[in-house]
Amino acid sequence: MLAEAPGERLKTLRDILGLTQAQLAEVSGVTQPWISDVETGSRDATDDKLTQIAAATGTPFTFFRVQPTSVPLDSLRFRKNSRARKTMTRRVHAVYGESFRVAETLFDAERYPTPSLPFAAGDDDLDDKQIEQLAAETRESLRLAPTAPIPHLTRALERAGIAVAPLVLPDVEGEENIPVGHFGVSHWAGIGAAALVGYFPGQQGDRDRFTLAHEVGHLVLHTFRPRTQQAVAEDEANRFATALLVPVERATVMMSEALTLSDYARLKATWGVSIQALIMRAHTVGAIGDTRKNSLYVQLSAKGWRKQEPVTVGHEAPKLLWTLLSRRYGPRPYLPGSEDLAIHPTLLRSIAPTETPAAAARPAPAAIAEPALKVYNFRRR
């Protein structure tokens, strides 16, 4: 496979850093017309100018000569909300594409096993029964107990050959910039190929766990159903996430119309799933009706729990990409790795953290005071 043209790589670099042509020119000292001409292909790039840009942005020069990613970026699915801007989504495309390229390289170099996941096929929308079955098959493929809480979803995915990467959007100073409105993005290249789930760490561990489960849903449900409409795909992935995290056999037994918000908070401590998602799960499996669901959501709003729930769910730290990176480049792998892998060093530190994602170091929100409730770290019961 041939390397991308320098102009394409230059556009990718600007997307990763969130820079316009004028801003890159100001930072690097290379003129904006030169950048524009190179990006449109009307002028050949020169090594001296690219070296100048690389030095100014902290990017290895090899970035401009690397082979392109194998990810068809128009196939990516996002967990995002309505606040996500198109410019931010373009940045996420670029950051994820580079991350996938590096993960795929490390997997190939270390001959790490690729995932063996179930998958949906065909063009029809999936009903609840089909999604429940695929979630159960996914648990089996991840070697998880069929009906127990998942104590560490990240580790289960990594053991099964699915790389998990916390993502940041670096700027030219190498600082982190978590994007507003985006939660996760994923791609599986198919049977026998690599898979990467990327997520933007938040303050709630339960949100991150749901994002991971949602993205696994996209891998299972939409890798071989690429024409599924976006709104339908997001709904299917949400239903899959709750089915994976709280299997139907347990949900129908432990959930009922009699449960209070305090009961749901205790379930959250056991299952590592938000109260809001648990209420929706109870409704999906038929344990509660519309009236009770609506009543519980009204109570959530009245307590202020829509924005900040009680019970702290601990963050999960990935380790697979760090392990593969350190095997190849030693205990201090970031500088040699960024040069050899042709990736911005801040992005490499993000996707292969040494211990915990940067966001995990931030304290989770304090639990809201509620009688008979404690603050828990998620654990198996």
Q: Which of 342, 335, 345 is nearest to 50 (CA)?
A: 342
Tokens of 238: 């949400």
Q: List the domains of the chain with CATH numbers.
A: 1-68 (1.10.260.40), 73-254 (no CATH)
pLDDT (average), residues 284-297: 97
Tokens of 263: 């009961």
The Cα–Cα gap between 35 and 225 comes to 39
Q: Which of 362, 347, 378, 356 is nearest to 63 (CA)?
A: 347
The Cα–Cα gap between 184 and 165 comes to 10
Tokens of 240: 């899959």
Question: Which pLDDT value is given to residue 178?
Answer: 47
Residue 291 has pLDDT above 50, yes or no: yes
More confident residue, 325 or 84: 325
**Backbone torsion region of residue 122, taken as left when φ is above 0, otherwise alpha when ψ lies between -120 and 50, otherwise beta:** left
Lowest mean pLDDT among 174-183, 306-315, 336-345: 174-183
pLDDT (average), residues 137-165: 97
pLDDT (average), residues 297-322: 94
Question: Which pLDDT value is given to residue 363?
Answer: 36
Q: How confident is the model at residue 78 (pLDDT cuts 50, 70, 90)?
A: low
pLDDT (average), residues 354-368: 43
Question: Which pLDDT value is given to residue 60?
Answer: 96
Strands 77-80 and 162-166 turn out to be: unpaired
More confident residue, 199 or 365: 199
Mean of the per-residue pLDDT values of the chain: 87
Question: Which pLDDT value is given to residue 251?
Answer: 98
- 345 in Cβ contact with 58 (< 8 Å): yes
Q: Which of 313, 316, 325 is nearest to 355 (CA)?
A: 316
Concatenated DSSP letters for 166-189? E-----TT----PPTTEEEEEEE-
Out of 247-251, 307-311, 359-363, 364-368, the most confident range is: 247-251
Tokens of 196: 């990467």
3 state SS of 295:
helix
pTM of the model: 0.88
Q: How confident is the model at residue 264 (pLDDT cuts 50, 70, 90)?
A: very high
- 183-208: per-residue pLDDT in tens? 899 999 889 999 999 999 888 999 99
More confident residue, 371 or 36: 36
- The Cα angle at residue 380 between residues 375 and 265, in degrees rounded to 5: 40
Q: How confident is the model at residue 168 (pLDDT cuts 50, 70, 90)?
A: confident
Question: Which pLDDT value is given to residue 86?
Answer: 78
Q: Where are the alpha helices (DSSP H) in 203-274?
A: 205-222, 230-245, 248-254, 261-271
Strands 77-80 and 195-199 turn out to be: unpaired
Residue 53 has pLDDT above 80, yes or no: yes
Question: Which pLDDT value is given to residue 367?
Answer: 32
The Cα–Cα gap between 327 and 159 comes to 17
Residue 73 has pLDDT above 70, yes or no: no
Residue 179 has pLDDT above 60, yes or no: no
Question: Which pLDDT value is given to residue 372?
Answer: 32
Tokens of 268: 């959250």
Question: Which pLDDT value is given to residue 375?
Answer: 31
- 112-126: per-residue pLDDT in tens? 999 999 999 998 999
pLDDT (average), residues 288-300: 97
pLDDT (average), residues 267-271: 97
State phi, psi for 333 to the nearest 5 degrees: -90, -10
More confident residue, 90 or 326: 326
Tokens of 218: 């996209």
Question: Which pLDDT value is given to residue 203?
Answer: 83
Question: Which pLDDT value is given to residue 117?
Answer: 97
CA distance readout (Å), 58 to 8, 20, 28, 36: 18, 17, 11, 21
Residue 374 has pLDDT above 80, yes or no: no
Strands 162-166 and 182-188 turn out to be: unpaired
pLDDT (average), residues 120-142: 96
